[in-house]
Amino acid sequence: MLEAQGGGCAICGRPEPEGGSLHVDHDHETGAVRGLLCFRCNGALGNLDENVERLADAIAYLDAAAPDATDVGLARTRAAALIPAR
């Protein structure tokens, strides 16, 4: 799974921390494993209650707050990839 993700977090791409590991992310309702995440990205999903609408709201907030910031654009693109097509 780690290799399929390019060797890092499925969201931000950060590599495994030295002497540590990425977190196995799973759907809390089904138990299905979704991927490997760094501590920060795993915590972010948890803090948003794994709620797609909240994640979309966070993306919209970042977009409105700093539409030209390169890092924000990258984060927005990666976060948007997590939202299933409707």
pLDDT for the residue numbered 71: 66
Establish how many alpha carbons lie within 13 A of residue 67's alpha carbon, considering only the half-sphere containing its beta carbon.
Answer: 2
pLDDT along the chain (86 residues), means of 10: 94 92 92 95 93 91 70 73 69
Scored b (16 or more CB within 10 A) or e, 50-75 reads beeeebeebbeebeeeeeeeeeeeeb
Look-up: residue for tokens 């992310």? 25
Using a cut of 0.85, tell me whether the model's pTM lies above it.
Answer: no
pLDDT for the residue numbered 40: 94
